[in-house]
Each structure stands twice: as C-alpha cells, then as structure tokens.
Amino acid sequence: ENKTHTVVIRMRNLDAKSVAGSQLLNGIIKAAGVHVTTAHLEDSFRINSRSNTVSVLTDNSERARKYAEIKDFTIHGKKVEVYGHGTTPGRFRRIVVPRLLDPTEDVNEAEMLEHLIRCNPHTTIIDAKRMGRSPSVLITLGTQESPGYIKFLGGLFPFHDYLETKQACTSCWKLGHRADACPTPTTGRCPNC
C-alpha cells in the first residue's frame, strides 16, 4: 500500500506473539484516541513479531501524530509501555547533528522541533528527537536535498547522515529487536556476559 505516513510502535514488556492481533491493534487504536471504524477502514497495521513492533500506515497526518505520541496502552489488564516514531520512506532523509544539546539538561522535544523549524525556514524539518541522553539530535528532513547546515540557537551546526545499525537485544541476546522493545525483558541474563 502507498500510504504517506508510517509510524513504528515499539512495545516493551509485551511479546507481540502472545496476544491476538485484533486485541493488540485495538489497544493501540484506543490509546491513540482514533475512532476505531476510521482506523480499521483508512489505516493499515503490520505486526512484526520478530522486532516486536507494529507499523501503522496512514494518509492522515493528524492520526499519524496521534499514533506516534502513544506512551502506553492496556491489554488484558496489563499496562504496556510503547515508543512510537515516524519512519522515513525514500523521499525523506535522516541526519544526526552531533553535540547540539547539553547532555545534563532535559529537553522538551516538541519545543526543540518548533525552534528548529523556525530557525531553518528553507529546510523542511519533519521531526527531531534527542538520541537517548546524548547531546546528539536525530532530525528527519522532508527532502533528500542537503541543507548544508542546521541552525539552532543562532549557531550553524554541521551534520552527517544517520546510518541505521542492526538491532541486537542485550536482554535476551536475540537479533531483530532492541532491549527497550524486548518481549521477554526479564530473562535474567547479564548483558555483560
């Protein structure tokens, strides 16, 4: 299907294989506050049990935003922590701006995104996320064109392309998902061994 927005939802403390697909999808739809009939008819969902994720494909930017902002949902009376993020199909570009933030300070990502959009009017910025607690920021551009630099707080910052790495879980030691989306996070294995 050719949908304009794709959101990947990573689940923590729930194995996607352990629940019925309809229950999983309806839990996500309810948590997003999207009308169930609209979601069933207009959006598409792909459950990837290997990476323990659900991909949501939609043409509606408001619904895409709602799916990406889900923090948790409830299934079988159990609260499931999730992290949603937009993906970048071919016409988008992801870049990393290193050493942009103070690693000791908390950052409001919505305010940071708004500031980046205002400071870079000739660059289409779709999303901006801090990379963990690091000073680096991952920015999604709405184009393949290179802006040359990113302006932030008056400074002009260089960047490099984001290179995605293979996912390996340090909790259960299986490939295909990360520790923050591990379906069995309490396996008791030491990540240092």
Q: What is the residue-level pLDDT of the chain in tens, covering all 193 positions? A: 456 788 999 888 888 888 898 999 999 999 999 999 999 999 999 998 888 889 999 888 889 889 988 999 988 888 988 888 877 555 678 899 999 998 888 889 899 999 999 999 998 888 899 998 899 999 988 888 888 899 999 999 999 999 877 777 877 777 777 777 777 766 565 656 5
**Phi, psi angle pair for 52, to nearest 5°:** 60, 45
Contact 63, 43 (CB under 8 A): yes
Look at residues 8, 23, 38 and name the one whose alpha carbon lies nearest to residue 75.
23
Residues 59 and 101 in one domain: no
- Identify the domain containing residue 129 by its residue range: 93-161
Residues 98 and 60 in one domain: no
User: Is residue 27 a part of any domain in this protein?
Assistant: yes
Number of domains into which the chain is organized: 2
Q: Which residues pair with 95 in a beta bridge?
A: 139, 161
Residues 13 and 70 in one domain: yes
**Phi, psi angle pair for 66, to nearest 5°:** -65, -45
Residues 62 and 128 in one domain: no
Flag whether the pTM goes above 0.85: no
